[in-house]
Amino acid sequence: MAKEMVKDLTLTELQKQIAELQAKAQAIIETEKASVIEELKEKISQYGITANELGFKVTEAVKPAKSSNTGTSTAPKIPKYKNPATGQTWHGGKGACPLWITELADKHLEDKKEKNKDGNMTVPRKVLTDWLDANGYKLPEPVAETAQEEA
């Protein structure tokens, strides 16, 4: 009898009926899914079934690789030293010193040079920054903005 009913339907009517049946099936799945999952969890726990026994691919958790820049900030560095003659600045941080700093060190701190790990003669960073502080190259500390404004 069902075959006879299908034979009398047009393609459009048949597609509409299929869509309605698929929607009903999806509604039943959504309604029953939570209880089915709960039943499965109970059985898995009760029998000690592993994911491997169920045919799932089991992989070990992989820790993400450590970033080489962990803990570094991408914010621009605040300059600490300024060349009054040219206006060039330097933040005093890691890395090579700017040329104007190197030239000052060569001119005024020749006697303070020491061999570095590469065997080159350089002025230690602490000696250099202390000399820059004492000779007027240090910029004043920036004033932190306060959250409260005066009335």
Domains of the chain by residue range: 2-47, 81-134
Contacts of 114 (CB under 8 A, 6+ apart): 121, 122, 123, 124
Q: Is the pLDDT of residue 63 over 80?
A: no
Q: Is the pLDDT of residue 149 over 50?
A: no
- Rounded to whole angstroms, the Cα distance separating 94 from 103 reads 18
Residue 43: band (very low, low, confident or very high) from pLDDT cuts 50, 70, 90: very high
| 23-27 contact pairs (CB < 8 A, 24+) | none
Give the mean pLDDT of the chain: 80
Residue 90: band (very low, low, confident or very high) from pLDDT cuts 50, 70, 90: confident
**Between the CA of residue 139 and those of 48, 85, 87, 150, what are the distances in Å?**
69, 14, 11, 27
- For residues 65-82, average pLDDT: 73
Q: Is the pLDDT of residue 106 over 50?
A: yes
Is the whole-model pTM more than 0.85? no
Q: Is the pLDDT of residue 36 over 70?
A: yes
